[in-house]
Amino acid sequence: MQEKKNIKFLSGNEACGEGAIVAGCRFFGGYPISPSSEIAEFMSKRLPLVGGTFIQMEDEIASIGAILGASLAGVKSMTATSGPGLSLMQENIGFGAMAEIPTVIVDVMRGGPSTGNPTGPSQSDVMAIRWGTHGDYPAVALCPESVNEVFLLTIEAFNIAEFLRTPVVLAMDEITAHMREKVELLKESDVKIVNRKKPEKMPYLPYEYGEDLIPPLPGYGEGFRFHVTGLNHDKTGFPTNKSELMEEGNRRIMEKLDKNKDKVIKHEEFMTEDCDILVVAYGSSARAAKRAVRTAREKGIKAGLFRPITLYPLSEKALQKAAGKAKKVIVPEMNLGQYILIVERVIGHGFPIIGINQVDGEPISPSKILSKIEE
Amino acid sequence: MAVNYFNYLRKEKMPHIWCAGCGHGMIVKSIIRAIDKLGWKNDEIALVSGIGCSSRTPGYLDFHTLHTTHGRALAFATGIKLAKPNLKVIVVGGDGDMMAIGGNHFIHACRRNIDMKLIVYNNNIYGMTGGQASPTTLTDAKATTAPYGFLEEPFDVCNMAIASGATFVGRALDLDVPLMDRVILESFKHKGFSVVDAWSQCPTYFGRFNKWGSASEMMERYKQIIYNIRQKDQLSEEEKKGKYPVGILHQIERNEFCERYQKLRDTLKGKEEAE
């Protein structure tokens, strides 16, 4: 007998919590901030029921510190925040990248800069997610367009973090966070769950890596004593200021993402095979874009949509291919032109790349995108 | 039996970077003696630090060690302890780490009463960055960012800890090793969040700028501004004025967070299905 599907009507923030629990998250440290707070509320209720731990920290700096600590102790961890909190977390996101600690940071984007617009949708953190911490680091960010996808991508965010041994950002916006939609809740046994690679034998060097460039990571207290620092370090984990070792370490954390990016990258294409006009959109803006593309097709205009699901890394080859025959590329974003910079870099400047930019706290409408398509 | 320090030290990391006359090594030895006395195993200890001279400690000790970002040791340690409550979590940091950049984490750690052991290596100065004034620099003392003397009032680490709700608070100086041993050992035995304000002298910067002389001369100076808490009732208010008590200053029993949380989990058992 086929088991009945577990369909629920949830907000994106609730779906994110459900996804985290399925992924194996058993520690949440966070600080209230709109429009992400329902994730913390969900986790505070659910985690003690499944043997996990929730703690409300004193600020976002403490929150990211706590989740990195919990992960080093071997427990999958997560925090959720919004722009101002993301700004506060930046230093320790870099620590997580440098020390190679898997964790998930949910950023429910709101308008910025500063306090901005706490209750309206925005995509204002797209560059902060990529370049926010100082130094070069392997940014990974996923961007869902629907509540069901929030559930699935939260699980995926944990899987990537565990696989690559690095912090991963789930970039939602106020619409995907607060909108209620149908979600099919899958059980742990129905989805792929990735757990970090652990060392098999002593002596163990915490930053010794194999072909995939990803070193194994045991939890504190599991018999492998090791040192972790945010300083440049060698394979032993202890600080080094030897030029060649600093160069190697800094390059490797970038190369491990590059080398494994095909296992990470996700994107969606909609009617791109023959498109004259390509729309590149992500998150809730992509839903408006999809509607606009469909209407354009009904009117006989060959429009298509490319939706990066992993904002970082982006499937550059696929984007180049999708833009191959296009005469015009349109990038709608709820910011003043952030991801368009990446699109321009990837597909070049040979033809018009036009931004649709809106920072009024309202979503971009399909008709606005359609009129740009028709222009 | 004599303590074999090398059971706890990463021999290959010696010699340490601390200057001649610095008291930090004395504090580390007291920590080791307390661990040895309690029979804690290296593999069950997580030692977490921030950034600064004190925060080189984790590199030298053969435990699970974490050298975090400046001021954030308690935040990371909170995650470790809550994720694995069986680990003994020791946190070390300097006066800058704990009283300035990490001040918010400090007061909230005191309030939460998670079973972690904090030792503040307090030398009234930022040593690693070259002798700048810190929140515990004494008023009128000189530092590279207080060339005309420090115009502010210093924090009293212990008063701050007590006011914030720490359940064990003590102070000891490296010049009195038996007292340092006793205060650190008792703090480790305590169930709950403990704070030890461990004074150490910095002859390289503080001593030099303030013409306080060598390490031993500095210790003589510090002796003038302390009194043992056991003499609290014998000394007049006048005699105690402007002086810092040393010893175990505060110890109370209060619910420990990890235990409370486990109790919550136990109470909720079986409730998920019912929901």
Cross-chain Cβ contact A49/B272 below 8 Å: yes
Q: How confident is the model at residue A3 (pLDDT cuts 50, 70, 90)?
A: confident
CATH number among 3.40.50.150, 1.10.287.130, 3.40.50.970, 3.90.740.10, domain B20-274: 3.40.50.970
Q: How confident is the model at residue A350 (pLDDT cuts 50, 70, 90)?
A: confident
* CA A318 from centroid of its chain's CA atoms: 19
Which pLDDT value is given to residue B240? 96
| Mean pLDDT along residues B181-208 | 97
Q: Write out residues 58-97 of A within 8 Å (CB-CB) of B.
A: 58-59, 61-75, 77, 91-92, 95
Query: Which of the residues B72, B115, B116, B269 would you substitute to probe the A interface, choosing the one with the greatest number of A C-beta atoms within 10 Å?
Result: B72
| Structural domain boundaries in chain B | 20-274
pLDDT at B217 over 70: yes
Phi, psi of B4 (to 5 degrees): -90, 100
A45 touching B, CB under 8 A? Answer: no
Beta bridge partners of B117: B90, B194
Q: Is the dihedral of CA B113, B116, B117, B118 positive or negative?
A: negative
CA dihedral A311, A313, A316, A319 (to 10 degrees): -20
In terms of Cβ atoms closer than 10 Å to its own Cβ (0-12, 13-18, 19+), residue B153 is exposed
CA proximity to A91, closest of A110, A105, A109, A78: A105
User: Between A62, A75, A91, which is nearest B83 by CB?
Assistant: A75
pLDDT digits (tens, 9 = 90+) for A130-154: 999 999 999 999 999 999 999 999 9
Which pLDDT value is given to residue B273? 52
Phi, psi of B136 (to 5 degrees): -110, 10
What gap in Å lies between CA B82 and CA B68, rounded to an integer? Answer: 17
The residue of chain B with its CA nearest to that of A66 is: B79
- Percent of chain B having pLDDT more than 70? 98
The residue of chain A with its CA nearest to that of B44 is: A221
Q: Which amino acid is at A58?
A: E
Residue whose tokens read 């001369």: B217
User: Between A55, A221, A238, which is nearest B86 by CB?
Assistant: A221
User: Between A50, A221, A229, which is nearest B87 by CB?
Assistant: A221
pLDDT digits (tens, 9 = 90+) for B74-109: 999 999 999 999 999 999 999 999 999 999 999 999
Which pLDDT value is given to residue B271? 75
Residue whose tokens read 């709109």: A34
Cross-chain Cβ contact B64/A48 below 8 Å: no
Residue whose tokens read 């985690």: A47
| Mean pLDDT along residues A331-356 | 94
Runs of H (alpha helix) within chain A: 12-23, 37-46, 60-72, 83-99, 126-131, 147-164, 174-178, 243-260, 284-298, 316-322, 339-347, 366-374
Cross-chain Cβ contact B67/A227 below 8 Å: yes
pLDDT digits (tens, 9 = 90+) for B175-191: 999 999 999 999 999 99
pLDDT at A221 over 70: yes
| Mean pLDDT along residues A242-246 | 98
CATH 3.40.50.920 fits A267-374, yes or no: yes
| Mean pLDDT along residues A104-129 | 96
A229 touching B, CB under 8 A? Answer: yes
A188 touching B, CB under 8 A? Answer: no
Which pLDDT value is given to residue A352? 94
CA proximity to A117, closest of A79, A143, A81, A83: A83
- CATH architecture assignment, domain A1-264: 3-Layer(aba) Sandwich (3.40)
Chain B contact set for A51 (CB, 8 A): 265
Q: Write out residues 232-271 of A within 8 Å (CB-CB) of B.
A: 238-239
What gap in Å lies between CA A325 and CA A306, rounded to an integer? Answer: 13
Query: Which of the residues A67, A229, A241 would you substitute to probe the B interface, choosing the one with the greatest number of B C-beta atoms within 10 Å?
Result: A229
Mean pLDDT, all residues of chain A? 97
User: Between B63, B75, B83, which is nearest A62 by CB?
Assistant: B75
Which pLDDT value is given to residue A351? 83
- Which residues are CB-contacts of A170 (< 8 A; sequence separation ≥ 6)? A16, A104, A105, A106, A107, A141, A142, A143, A144, A150, A153, A154, A157
Which pLDDT value is given to residue B1? 66
Which pLDDT value is given to residue A227? 97
Which pLDDT value is given to residue B111? 98
Residue spans in chain A of domains classed CATH 3.40.50.970: 1-264
In terms of Cβ atoms closer than 10 Å to its own Cβ (0-12, 13-18, 19+), residue B137 is buried
In terms of Cβ atoms closer than 10 Å to its own Cβ (0-12, 13-18, 19+), residue A135 is exposed
Chain A contact set for B42 (CB, 8 A): 225
- Which residues are CB-contacts of B6 (< 8 A; sequence separation ≥ 6)? none
